[in-house]
C-alpha cells in the first residue's frame, strides 16, 4: 500500500468561491474560465476522467480548487501549502509541499513527510511517479560559468529513490527526459530500468562560449513524435548574453532542431502534447503575461494567452487531458501574487 501508516485529512469540503466563473471555453482557443483577483494559482493537474485540480493561495491562506467538469469550487486540501500536483486517476492525485506530500484516494488525503529537496516538477507516468528536485534556471541576463543542476527521484514502494541520469533533467513526458549534458541540450530515454542518453544532431549554429538546454519535452502518444523546447545562449559583449529559442522534434534516429530568434532565451518554457500530433509550448511574454508556440504537424504558430483588461497574469503551470476529446488547462497569477487566472482550451 502506497501510503500505509499516514495521517489523513478525511473531509472533502466544498464551498462557493467568490471568484468570477466564466463560460465553458470555446472550441479551438485558449480562454479565461475562472479568475480571482485576490488569489494566486501555482499548480494544476487534470485526471483522465477530466477532474481539474488547482493549487494556490489567497493571501496567507492555502487554496485548493476542483472543477473542469463543472464550475471550480474550493475543496479541502491536505493541510499544507501545495506547490506541485500530479495525477493518474480520480483516486490517485498527489500534492507536494515543502515538507510534506499527500495522495488523494477519492475519499481522503493521506499525508507523509517529505525529507528531500524542493519539488519543481511532478509527473505520474504509467506506473511511475517522478519528481524533479532543486532545478536551477538560467538567468535571462546570462551568467558566466552557469551549470545546470537537478535531482530526479522515483517512488519505489514507499521510498523515494534518487535515479541516476546521463543528463541534467529539467522536464519529463512519457519515457523521455529533456535537459542538458556538459552544457549542451540533451534528451534521455527511459528503458524501464534505466535512463539512456539519446544522440541528437548538433545545433544549427555554434558560437564561442555557447551553452544550451532543453527545458521540457512532450510526446504524442499516437504517433510517438517527440517535441522539446529549450534555449541557447552565448556571451555577446561584456557580461551580456544573447540567445535564441530551440525547438526539437522528431523520432528516435531522426531529429530536427529549429532555431528561432524570438522569443529568445526562455529558461522556464513548458511543453505539453496537444493530442493531435503536436504540442503547446508556453513561455513568459516580454510585454507581460504569457504567450505560446503551437507546434503543429505542418509548422509552428505563435499566440498569446488572453487576460481581462489591465491584468498581467502569467502561466505558472500547464496540464493536458488527452482522453474524451482532449482539453488543456493553465493556471497563473500576476507578479504581485494576485490576479489568479485559470485558462482552458477545448478542441
Q: In this model, does residue 11 exceed pLDDT 60? A: no
Q: How many domains does the chain have?
A: 1
Q: How far apart are CA 339 and CA 324, in angstroms?
A: 30
- Which residues are within 8 A (CB) of 312 and not within 5 positions of it... i.e. 6 or more apart? 288, 289, 334, 335, 339
**Structural domain contains residue 243:** yes
pLDDT band of 13, cuts 50, 70, 90: very low
pLDDT digit string, tens, across residues 107-152: 999 999 999 999 999 999 999 999 999 999 999 778 889 999 999 9
pLDDT digit string, tens, across residues 20-66: 444 455 657 899 999 999 999 999 999 999 999 999 999 999 999 99
pLDDT band of 79, cuts 50, 70, 90: very high
**Structural domain contains residue 148:** yes
Helix residue ranges, H only, 51-184: none
pLDDT for position 138:
95
**Structural domain contains residue 2:** no
**Structural domain contains residue 1:** no
55 closest CA partner among 31, 32, 72, 69: 72
pLDDT band of 324, cuts 50, 70, 90: low
Q: How far apart are CA 104 and CA 321, in angstroms?
A: 19
Strands (E), 47-141: 52-58, 61-67, 73-74, 84-89, 92-96, 100-104, 109-113, 119-125, 128-133
Residue 1 has which C-alpha cell? Answer: 500500500
Strands 128-133, 119-125: pairing is antiparallel
**Structural domain contains residue 63:** yes
Q: In this model, does residue 1 exceed pLDDT 60? A: no
Tell me the whole-structure pTM to 2 decimals: 0.91
* CATH number of the domain encompassing residue 86: 2.130.10.150
**Structural domain contains residue 39:** yes
**Structural domain contains residue 247:** yes
pLDDT for position 27:
59
Percent share of the chain, pLDDT over 70: 92
pLDDT for position 310:
84
Place of cell 465553458: 24
pLDDT digit string, tens, across residues 250-291: 999 999 999 999 999 999 999 999 989 999 999 999 888 999
Q: How far apart are CA 139 and CA 196, in angstroms?
A: 28
Residue 284's domain comprises 7-346
Amino acid at each position: 500500500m502506497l501510503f500505509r501508516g499516514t495521517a489523513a485529512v478525511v473531509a472533502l469540503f466544498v464551498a462557493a468561491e467568490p471568484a468570477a466563473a466564466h463560460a465553458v471555453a470555446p472550441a479551438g482557443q485558449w480562454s479565461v474560465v475562472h479568475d480571482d483577483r485576490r488569489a494566486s494559482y501555482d499548480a494544476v493537474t487534470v485526471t483522465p476522467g477530466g477532474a481539474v485540480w488547482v493549487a494556490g493561495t489567497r493571501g496567507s491562506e492555502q487554496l485548493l480548487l476542483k472543477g473542469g467538469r463543472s464550475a471550480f469550487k474550493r475543496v479541502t486540501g491536505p493541510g499544507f501549502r501545495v506547490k506541485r500536483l500530479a495525477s493518474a486517476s480520480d483516486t490517485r492525485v498527489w500534492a507536494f509541499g515543502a515538507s510534506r506530500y499527500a495522495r488523494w484516494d477519492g475519499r481522503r488525503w493521506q499525508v507523509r513527510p517529505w525529507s528531500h529537496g524542493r519539488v519543481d516538477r511532478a509527473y505520474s507516468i504509467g506506473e511511475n511517479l517522478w519528481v524533479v528536485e532543486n532545478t536551477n534556471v538560467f538567468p535571462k541576463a546570462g551568467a558566466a560559468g552557469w551549470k545546470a543542476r537537478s535531482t530526479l527521484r522515483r517512488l519505489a514502494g514507499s521510498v523515494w529513490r534518487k535515479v541516476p541520469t546521463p543528463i541534467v533533467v529539467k522536464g519529463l513526458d512519457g519515457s523521455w527526459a529533456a535537459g542538458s549534458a556538459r552544457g549542451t541540450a540533451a534528451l534521455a530515454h527511459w528503458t524501464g530500468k534505466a535512463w539512456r542518453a539519446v544522440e541528437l544532431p548538433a545545433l544549427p549554429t555554434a558560437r564561442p562560449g555557447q551553452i544550451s538546454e532543453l527545458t521540457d519535452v512532450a510526446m504524442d502518444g499516437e504517433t510517438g513524435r517527440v517535441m522539446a523546447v529549450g534555449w541557447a545562449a552565448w556571451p555577446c559583449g561584456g557580461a551580456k548574453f544573447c540567445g535564441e529559442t530551440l525547438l526539437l522534434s522528431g523520432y528516435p534516429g531522426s531529429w530536427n532542431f529549429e532555431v528561432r530568434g524570438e522569443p529568445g532565451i526562455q529558461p522556464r518554457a513548458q511543453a505539453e502534447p496537444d493530442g493531435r500530433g503536436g504540442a503547446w509550448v508556453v513561455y513568459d511574454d516580454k510585454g507581460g503575461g504569457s504567450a505560446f508556440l503551437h507546434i503543429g504537424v505542418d509548422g509552428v504558430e505563435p499566440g498569446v494567452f488572453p487576460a481581462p483588461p489591465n491584468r498581467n497574469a502569467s502561466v505558472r503551470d500547464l496540464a493536458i487531458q488527452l482522453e474524451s476529446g482532449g482539453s488543456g488547462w493553465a493556471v497563473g497569477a500576476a507578479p504581485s501574487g494576485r490576479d489568479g487566472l485559470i485558462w482552458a482550451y477545448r478542441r
